[in-house]
Chains A and B, each alone.
Chain A
Amino acid sequence: MADPMKIRATLVGDSTEVKVLMSHEMETGQRKDAQGAVIPAWFIQNVTVAHGGTTVLAAQWGPAVSKNPFLSFKFKGGAKGDKVTIAWVDNRGDKRTDEATIA
C-alpha cells in the first residue's frame, strides 16, 4: 500500500491552486541492480483530479517523471470548503486516492 499523498489546495482569486506530492518509486525500467539485472519499470500511469463530480485534470504519465513527483496546477472555480479528490494508478495496478479541502 502506497503512502498517502500530500495535498494543498488554495483558492487564489477565481481559481483553485492545487499542489500535490506523491510518494512513488517511479522506476524507469532502464536501471540495473547490483547483480546486473534490470529493475522492472514501475511508475504512475494515470492521474485524475476530480472536483464536485467533474474531472478537472486527467494525465497520462510515463517513466520520465521523477521519483516522489510534485504536481502543481490551477483550475477555474472551486470554493473554500470544497473537496478535491486526486487518484493515481500505476503500471502494476496499485492505486491510491486522497482528498483535500480547499482552503
Chain B
Amino acid sequence: MRLACFAAAACAAFAFAASAQNSTTEGIAKYREALQEGNPAELWEARGEGLWKAPRGPNKVSLERCDLGLGAGIVKGAYAQLPKYFADADRVMDLETRLVWCMVKLQGISEADAKKNPFGNGNDKKSDIEALVAYVTSESRGVKMNVSVAHPKEMQMYRVGEKIFYFRGGPHDFGCVTCHGADNQRIRLQDLPNLTKIEGTQKAYTTWPAYRVSQGELRTFQWRLNDCFRQQRFPELEFGSDASIALTMFLAKNANGAAFDGPAIKR
C-alpha cells in the first residue's frame, strides 16, 4: 500500500515536471507567434536593401552586380543554395563570405574594413553585414533549401563540417553534438534542436538569421556559430573562416527540402 502510494506520488511528480516543461515550450512558441507580425528584422531588411543598392566604397558601385551563385545581381532564392563553390574565388563560400568578397572585388573596400564589424551592437555600432544578410535572406523566404555538394570542394566542406560537429574538445570536452545530439535538450528554458536529425536541422537552419529580442539585434548564422563556440569555451571562431563555412555547409545541406523561413524572431 505504502509502496503503491509512493509510486503514484512519484508518477504525479514526473507528470508535473513534464507538463511544466511543455507549458514553458508552448509559452515560448506563443510569444514568438505574437511577435512574428511585428518582427523588427524588417528594419534590418530595409536597411540592407538600401546598402545593397547604394554605390559605396572607393569604386562607387553598388552590390547589384554581386553574383551570389545564381548570376550577377540575382538575389531572389540565392540564399537557399548557399554555401556553394564559386569558381571566381576558387572557394566554397557562405553568404557572409560572399558578401565580403563582393565588397572587396566590386566596391574596392579592403577586406579588413569589410570584415571589421560582422556583429552589430546598438546604435553606435551597426553592422552592414547583418543588414545585408537580412535583406538577401528575406528574398529567399519560402524557397526550398537546395544546397549542392556535387563539386568535390563542396563535398569536402560538408565532410569537414560533419567532423567539426562531432568533434569534442576544449576545457569542458564539449562538441556541438553534446547539446545538439539528442531530442529534448535545453539550455535554461530554450529547447535545443537535435541537429543529428533531418527535421531538427531543417527547423533550426531555416529560422536563422533571426532578430534576437533579448539583444535587440538581428543575428546571422555566422553569429550563431560564433556564439556556440563561445559557449563551448572553444577558441573564437573566426568570421568567414573555413571552419565556419564547413559547419554551415554541413547544416545547410542537411536542411535541404525545407522551405526557408527567415529572418525569423527568437527570444
Contact = CB atoms under 8 A, between A and B. Distances in A.
B169 interface: no
Contacts of A68: 40, 43, 216
A72 B46 contact: no
Contact of B123 (A6, A25, A70): A25
Interface residues of A, number: 11
Interface residues of B, number: 12
B216 A6 contact: no
Given A67-B216, A68-B216, A21 B123 contact: no
A6 B42 contact: yes
Interface string B31-72: 000010111101100110000000000000000000000000
A4 interface: yes
Contacts, number: 29
Interface string A17-28: 001010101000
Interface in B117-156: 122-123
Contacts of A4: 46
A21 B263 CA distance: 15
A21 B216 contact: no
Nearest to A6: B42
A3 interface: yes
B47 to A, nearest CB: 6
A21 B216 CA distance: 13
A23 B47 CA distance: 10
B175 to A, nearest CB: 31
Given A19-B38, A67-B216, A70-B38, A6 B46 contact: yes
Contact of A3 (B38, B39, B47, B216): B47
11 contacts: A3-B46, A3-B47, A4-B46, A6-B43, A21-B38, A21-B40, A23-B40, A23-B43, A68-B40, A68-B43, A72-B37
Interface of B: 35, 37-40, 42-43, 46-47, 122-123, 216
